[in-house]
Copies of this chain bind each other. A is one copy, B any other.
Amino acid sequence: MARGGAPGTGSAGPRASRGDLPPQNKRPLRVTIWNEYVHERRDESVRRIYPDGMQRPIADGLRGELGPGVTVRIATLDEPEHGLTEEALAGTDVLTWWGHAAHDQVSEEVVERVQARVLDGMGIVVLHSGHYSKIFRRLMGTTCSLRWRSDPGGEREVIWTVAPGHPIAAGVPQPIVIPHQEMYGEFFDIPQPDELVFISSFAGGEVFRSGCCYRRGAGRLFYFSPGDQEFPVYHQPEIQKVIANAVAWCAGVAASNDPPARREGHAPRGWFSEAGSPARKR
């Protein structure tokens, strides 16, 4: 996924990560960017940074990184069913989620629908204060609480890759520096990630597990912490790169070979003997 040259190469020479471009004969990745879209319309300081909402640079970043390999759709809190109807979700491969001030206003029914889609194979990338969203807490089963600090001017965040070679870290610097950000600090009450990709430090000395991969059911989830609304984090190219990598990673899941309809319930003795028999040799 190297644009403008990857920072480092292994001794095998440059080689493309397979997860970024779609095969020639398949449809593009369908991404729904969900944004609460409250702060940008309510707070002048936020509107100046994100005049068209946070969704704009996130969408621009995806298109810039993934080109024709992606189609992007926006959905916000105030739309009917928050823009996440059954049809919309069925037509979404990966959902991104940013919320902060109005987690409680997301309907339980929609949250259940999103959870079911994730367990059925849809990817989800949860951003920043989305750690307290209903959907993230539901998928994690924990409080997802954390320490935070938002001084005027913020403080420097340094994002370290602890899994080099992971597709989500492709083509980003080691480390990524965000000059001004809100501090998020441990203990972050999440289950131990299936894969820990990034750890951040803050000028004040706190640390945070800032890039966390999970597999839930047939779906993939990536939590990425940078992104307070008072700072232009989503305009930063490295951050856009990570989000694009994460979207592609979430989509790298294969069609399940044991979907819910087939694997729940009574299974008579020997039920699989025919289905599983060796196919005729090639």
Contact = CB atoms under 8 A, between A and B. Distances in A.
Contact of A19 (B115, B155, B169, B252): B252
A230 interface: no
Interface stretch (A41-49, A75-83, A96-104, A175-183): A175-183
Contacts of A186: 160-162, 199, 258
Contacts of A177: 272-273, 276-278
A109 interface: no
Nearest to A167: B254
Majority-rule SS of A interface residues: loop
Given A119-B143, A149-B269, A191 B178 contact: no
Nearest to A26: B16
A51 interface: no
A175 to B, nearest CB: 5
B149 A162 contact: no
A217 B143 contact: yes
A139 to B, nearest CB: 4
A13 B186 CA distance: 23
Contacts of A13: 90
Interface residues of A, number: 134
Given A119-B189, A254-B167, A10 B259 contact: yes
A18 B9 contact: no
Contact of A22 (B16, B91, B209): B16
B174 A257 contact: yes
B236 A215 contact: no
A69 to B, nearest CB: 9
A38 interface: no
Interface in A147-174: 147-149, 151, 155-156, 158, 160-167, 169-174
30 contacts: A7-B275, A8-B255, A8-B261, A10-B122, A11-B120, A12-B92, A14-B255, A15-B255, A17-B253, A17-B254, A17-B255, A18-B251, A21-B24, A142-B217, A146-B264, A147-B266, A149-B266, A149-B269, A158-B205, A163-B215, A164-B218, A167-B253, A170-B255, A174-B262, A177-B278, A185-B267, A186-B199, A186-B258, A189-B260, A201-B206
